[in-house]
């Protein structure tokens, strides 16, 4: 019986059929829109990575946030876009820790919470085109992009 193909044993029991799948594929984040000054998307709308990528360059500044993995975590935010330098002084005045990457800032706070609403209001007050999204389905921004990891790992 060498021609018989056995089916995969990935059958779910009735008890787990409705349970959410705990493992989500990495590298395929989705984005929940928190604020969009250009009204491409409505607040609360969930975007795929390709939907977000197709319009992100239309914005002067883009803010991404990740939910803290633990309550004690202050949260981590990415600010990217061609005009992100215009708010760096404001971030430093707020005493946020700003790590400069070649395509974005990583914004954290020490001993307090980062206030993304204050950041977004500052950006709005400057009249810049702005989108703020909450990243879903990724562990967080601490992992460097693949190209950067390869460069850093070289001796």
Global pTM? 0.69
pLDDT mean across residues, the chain: 78
Domains of the chain, by residue range, sit at: 30-153
What pLDDT is recorded for position 67? 64
Residue 145 has pLDDT above 70, yes or no: no
pLDDT > 90 in the chain, percent: 51
Alpha carbon distance 117, 61 (integer Å) = 14
- Which pLDDT tens digit goes with each residue over 22-66? 444 455 789 999 999 999 999 999 999 999 999 999 999 999 988
SS (H, E, C) 99-138: EECCCEEEEECCCCCCCHHHHHHHHHHCCCCEEEEEEECC
Mean per-residue pLDDT, 113-123? 92
pLDDT one-digit tens code per residue, 9-21: 444 444 544 544 4
Rounding to the nearest 10 degrees, give the CA dihedral for residues 152, 153, 154, 155. Answer: 100
Look at residue 123 in the predicted model and tell me its pLDDT. Answer: 95
CA distances from 85 to 55, 69, 79, 104, 140 (A): 21, 28, 10, 9, 23
Burial class (CB in 10 A: 0-12, 13-18, 19+), 92: exposed
- The pLDDT of residue 122 is 95
């Amino acid at each position: 019986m060498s021609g018989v193909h056995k089916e995969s044993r990935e059958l779910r029991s009735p008890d787990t059929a409705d349970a959410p799948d705990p493992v989500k594929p990495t590298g395929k984040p989705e984005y929940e829109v928190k604020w969009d000054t250009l009204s491409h998307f409505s607040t609360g709308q969930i975007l795929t990575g390709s939907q977000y990528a197709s319009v992100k360059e239309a914005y002067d500044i883009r803010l991404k946030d990740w939910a803290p993995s633990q309550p004690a975590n202050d949260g981590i935010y990415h600010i990217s876009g061609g005009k992100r330098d215009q708010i760096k002084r404001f971030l430093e005045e707020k005493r946020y820790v700003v790590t400069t990457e070649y395509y974005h800032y990583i914004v954290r706070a020490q001993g307090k919470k980062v206030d993304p609403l204050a950041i977004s209001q500052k950006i709005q007050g400057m009249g810049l085109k702005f989108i703020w999204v909450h990243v879903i389905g990724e562990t967080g921004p601490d992992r460097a992009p693949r190209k950067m990891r390869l460069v850093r790992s070289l001796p």
